[in-house]
């Protein structure tokens, strides 16, 4: 067993209002410069919808993530070394600018300098931020915002296509009446990152001390294999430098004990940050389970209980500072993922073992309860609706549990029980023990879960140990080396994954 620490995030989707503040502040911090006009390390999508870039969840098309071969071995969907080497100069499995969107600006001088007395009101004409030429706006990173443009294409949402035919038909047939929720997305900083394995030059690496996946700009040669391999399409190419860039999890802030900028500025306070301890030796086995629906449980099994004396002993032997162990014990992420088991990973079937998890939204179910003439404050009515309702439960299952609707329904029932329990406590002081029994939790646990989800303070939502000053030099040295710190036996796809020996440099040398 090899104990590692991972900085992870959980987002409570019921609290996301789709304001895009996280996207804007991330843009201003990390990608407000030439070459990254189309790049959004953080974006907020409306679901149902095809997302950004278009249909990024369709891995039959984009070849992202991992799959099991005929012998049950974990292999990249984009192919092995020989296949990647054969396509190193012309990779066909890449989104185009049309799949992302052509960023636009506006000629404001038309308004500012318009002469008086015009018969027609002057209007701003959109121009390409890349070429300066006039363009027609037909797509954008949030084109489907609040279902605004979703009627054009959202019927081809890969999650809807994967649903049972009857449920999918209902979504498309009554699209104007369907449910809606917002899904913020960043890089998943996976335990088993496909992008790291696919990088021919070894520029992509996963940091040992906190699990953050980064790109060494000095080593990157712009082969773009990482863009294909990432199933979430959260690796981008800077068209000015020709190099790959991605979400950094705001590592300078994390090292200083501060939350990511998207978390800091989140209006809905829906993000939680914390340390998760996991067994590195268990990663390969967890990612290789045969049944996609078992991936959730398999990934949870790789996490180690920070309160367990054996885990504390392993942490001490691994040289993990006491401050990190204490942070792991206080981690809201650990509690939401493993204690309460209400947080779920995004598309576990990609087998990357993502470390940005989500509490699925209960609000679409409550809307359906009201539409069915039931009482959305009555736990029995809500429970029955969850069991009966195939939309959006099946849709949420396609997103978070590889199609396992029962797993999603179990989470939604916990959230509904918590809601009813706290309502009764607030209104008349009664303790609805039967609700706790129905979901296998105690009243104390339900109240603690409610506090964390609803009214947790800043220091409860973000539990991040500051890097010791004595470690600063070693952290910088590790970043400069740009070698994957998990290189070696047991790290699936993390060592020697490129088509050439790292010591020889990339094929073709400098570009």
**pLDDT digits 0-9 by tens, 163-189:** 888 778 777 766 666 778 999 999 999
Question: pLDDT exceeding 70 applies to what percent of the chain?
Answer: 85
Predicted pLDDT of residue 504: 29
Of 359, 316, 314, 348, the C-alpha closest to 461 is 359
Separation of alpha carbons 187 and 53, rounded Å: 14
Predicted pLDDT of residue 370: 63
Query: Is the same domain home to 210 and 246?
Result: yes
Predicted pLDDT of residue 173: 64
Give me the residue label for tokens 């162990």.
325
Predicted structure pTM score: 0.88
Task: Say whether the peptide bond before residue 392 is cis (omega within 30 degrees of 0).
Answer: yes
Residue 385, pLDDT > 50, answer: yes
Query: Is the same domain home to 259 and 291?
Result: no
Residue-wise pLDDT tens digits, 250-275: 999 999 999 999 999 999 999 999 99
Q: Give how far the C-alpha of residue 307 lies from the chain's centroid of Cα atoms, to the nearest Å.
A: 27
Query: Is the same domain home to 191 and 314?
Result: no
Helix H or strand E segment including 51: none
Asked, for residue 132, whether it belongs to a domain, the answer is no
Q: Which two tokens stand for residue 207?
A: 């940091």
Q: What is the mean pLDDT of the chain?
A: 86
How many structural domains does the chain have? Answer: 2
Give me the residue label for tokens 């449910």.
179
Q: Given pLDDT bands bounded at 50, 70 and 90, which one contains residue 377?
A: low
Task: List 49's β-bridge partners, or say none.
Answer: none
Residues 6+ apart with CB under 8 A from 368: 179, 385, 389, 391, 392
Q: Are the beta carbons of 399 and 347 closer than 8 angstroms? A: yes
Query: Is the same domain home to 308 and 443?
Result: yes
Q: Mean pLDDT over residues 303-307, rounded? A: 97
Q: Give how far the C-alpha of residue 88 lies from the chain's centroid of Cα atoms, to the nearest Å.
A: 28
Asked, for residue 277, whether it belongs to a domain, the answer is no
Residue 463, pLDDT > 50, answer: yes
Pairing of strands 356-359, 3-12: parallel
Query: Is the same domain home to 382 and 445?
Result: yes
Please indicate whether residue 374 or residue 3 has the higher confidence score (pLDDT): 3
Separation of alpha carbons 478 and 485, rounded Å: 8
Query: Is the same domain home to 252 and 316?
Result: no
Query: Is the same domain home to 157 and 248?
Result: yes
Q: Are the beta carbons of 202 and 484 closer than 8 angstroms? A: yes
Give me the residue label for tokens 């300098």.
113
Q: Give how far the C-alpha of residue 313 lies from the chain's centroid of Cα atoms, to the nearest Å.
A: 31
Please indicate whether residue 380 or residue 213 has the higher confidence score (pLDDT): 213
Q: Are the beta carbons of 400 and 408 closer than 8 angstroms? A: yes
118-122, 411-415, 475-479, range with greatest mean pLDDT: 411-415
Predicted pLDDT of residue 438: 85
Query: Is the same domain home to 239 and 315?
Result: no
Separation of alpha carbons 23 and 197, rounded Å: 28
Q: Are the beta carbons of 274 and 331 closer than 8 angstroms? A: yes
114-118, 150-154, 414-418, range with greatest mean pLDDT: 414-418
Burial of 249 (0-12, 13-18, 19+ CB in 10 A): buried
Predicted pLDDT of residue 373: 65
Residue-wise pLDDT tens digits, 209-230: 999 999 999 999 999 999 999 9
Q: Which two tokens stand for residue 362?
A: 């209960």
Asked, for residue 332, whether it belongs to a domain, the answer is yes
Query: Is the same domain home to 254 and 344?
Result: no
Task: Assign 379 to helix, strand or coil.
Answer: helix
Separation of alpha carbons 408 and 249, rounded Å: 27
Query: Is the same domain home to 31 and 150?
Result: yes
Residue 355, pLDDT > 50, answer: yes
- Helix-helix angle 405-427:393-400, to 10 degrees: 120
Predicted pLDDT of residue 166: 78
Predicted pLDDT of residue 503: 31
Among 264, 298, 325, identify where a domain stops: 264
Predicted pLDDT of residue 154: 84
Residue 344, pLDDT > 60, answer: yes
The C-alpha angle 458, 462, 463, rounded to 5 degrees, equals 120
Please indicate whether residue 181 or residue 498 has the higher confidence score (pLDDT): 181
Predicted pLDDT of residue 374: 66
Task: List 6's β-bridge partners, or say none.
Answer: 276
3-state SS of the chain: helix, strand, coil percent to 5? Answer: 40, 15, 45
Helix H or strand E segment including 67: strand 66-68
Asked, for residue 441, whether it belongs to a domain, the answer is yes
Predicted pLDDT of residue 400: 97
Burial of 166 (0-12, 13-18, 19+ CB in 10 A): exposed
Q: Are the beta carbons of 175 and 150 closer than 8 angstroms? A: yes
Among 438, 461, 484, identify where a domain stops: 461
What CATH number is associated with residue 67? Answer: 3.30.70.20
Separation of alpha carbons 74 and 282, rounded Å: 14
Asked, for residue 485, whether it belongs to a domain, the answer is no
Query: Is the same domain home to 225 and 291?
Result: no
Q: Mean pLDDT over residues 225-238, rounded? A: 97
Q: Given pLDDT bands bounded at 50, 70 and 90, which one contains residue 481?
A: very low
Residue 470, pLDDT > 60, answer: no
Predicted pLDDT of residue 487: 40
Predicted pLDDT of residue 376: 59
Asked, for residue 480, whether it belongs to a domain, the answer is no
Least confident range of 22-36, 140-154, 180-194: 140-154
Separation of alpha carbons 188 and 497, rounded Å: 20
Please indicate whether residue 84 or residue 486 has the higher confidence score (pLDDT): 84
Among 446, 461, 476, identify where a domain stops: 461
Separation of alpha carbons 472 and 478, rounded Å: 10
Least confident range of 280-284, 303-307, 328-332, 373-377: 373-377
Query: Is the same domain home to 191 and 289?
Result: no
Least confident range of 22-36, 257-271, 427-441, 474-488: 474-488
Residue 482, pLDDT > 70, answer: no
Q: Are the beta carbons of 499 and 309 closer than 8 angstroms? A: no
Q: Given pLDDT bands bounded at 50, 70 and 90, which one contains residue 110?
A: confident
Residue 389, pLDDT > 80, answer: no
Of 363, 362, 381, the C-alpha closest to 372 is 381
Asked, for residue 473, whether it belongs to a domain, the answer is no
Separation of alpha carbons 272 and 275, rounded Å: 10
Predicted pLDDT of residue 501: 31
| Neighbour count for residue 123 (Cβ, 10 Å) | 11
For the chain, counts of helices (H) and of strands (E):
25, 14
Q: Given pLDDT bands bounded at 50, 70 and 90, which one contains residue 496?
A: very low
Asked, for residue 29, whether it belongs to a domain, the answer is yes
| Residue 338 structural domain | 285-461
């Amino acid at each position: 067993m090899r104990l590692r620490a991972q900085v992870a995030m959980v987002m409570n989707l019921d609290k996301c209002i789709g304001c895009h503040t996280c996207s804007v502040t991330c843009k201003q911090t990390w990608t407000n410069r030439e070459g990254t006009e189309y790049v959004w390390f953080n974006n907020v999508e409306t679901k149902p919808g095809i997302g950004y870039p278009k249909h990024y969840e369709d891995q039959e098309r984009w070849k992202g993530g991992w799959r099991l071969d005929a012998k049950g071995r974990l292999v990249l969907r984009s192919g092995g070394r020989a296949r990647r080497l054969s396509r190193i100069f012309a990779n066909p499995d890449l989104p185009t600018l049309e799949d992302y969107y052509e960023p636009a600006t506006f000629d404001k001088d038309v308004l500012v300098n318009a002469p008086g007395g015009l018969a027609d009101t002057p209007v701003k004409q959109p121009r390409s931020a890349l070429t300066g030429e006039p363009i027609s706006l037909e797509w954008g990173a949030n084109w489907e915002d609040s279902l605004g443009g979703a009627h054009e294409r959202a019927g081809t949402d890969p999650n809807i296509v994967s649903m049972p035919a009857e449920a999918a038909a209902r979504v498309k047939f009554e699209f104007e009446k369907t449910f809606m929720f917002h899904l913020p997305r960043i890089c998943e900083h996976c335990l088993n990152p496909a992008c790291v394995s696919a990088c021919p030059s070894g520029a992509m690496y996963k940091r040992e001390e906190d699990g953050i996946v980064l790109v060494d700009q000095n080593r990157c040669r712009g082969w773009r294999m990482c863009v294909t391999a990432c199933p979430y399409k959260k690796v981008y190419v800077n068209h000015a430098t020709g190099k790959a860039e991605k979400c950094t999890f705001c590592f300078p802030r994390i090292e200083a004990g501060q939350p990511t900028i998207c978390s800091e500025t989140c209006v809905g306070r829906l993000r939680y940050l914390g340390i998760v301890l996991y067994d590195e030796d268990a990663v390969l086995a967890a990612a290789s389970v045969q049944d996609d629906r078992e991936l959730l449980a398999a990934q949870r099994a790789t996490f180690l209980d920070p309160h367990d004396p054996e885990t504390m002993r392993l942490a001490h032997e691994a040289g993990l500072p006491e401050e990190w162990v204490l942070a792991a014990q206080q981690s809201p992420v650990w509690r939401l993922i493993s204690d309460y088991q209400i947080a779920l990973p995004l598309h576990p079937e990609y087998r990357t073992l993502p470390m940005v998890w989500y509490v699925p939204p209960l609000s679409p179910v409550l809307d359906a309860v009201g539409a069915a003439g039931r009482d959305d404050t009555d736990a029995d009515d809500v429970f029955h609706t969850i069991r009966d309702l195939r939309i959006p439960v099946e849709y949420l299952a396609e997103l978070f549990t590889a199609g396992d609707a029962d797993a999603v329904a179990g989470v939604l029932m916990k959230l509904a029980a918590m809601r009813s329990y706290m309502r009764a406590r607030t209104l008349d002081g009664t303790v609805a023990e039967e609700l706790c029994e129905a979901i296998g939790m105690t009243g104390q646990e339900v109240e603690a879960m409610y506090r964390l989800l609803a009214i947790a303070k800043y220091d409860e939502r973000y539990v991040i140990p500051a890097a010791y000053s004595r470690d600063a030099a070693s952290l910088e040295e590790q970043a400069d080396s740009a070698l994957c710190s998990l290189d070696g036996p047991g790290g699936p796809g993390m060592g020697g994954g490129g088509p050439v020996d790292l010591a020889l440099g990339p094929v073709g040398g400098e570009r």
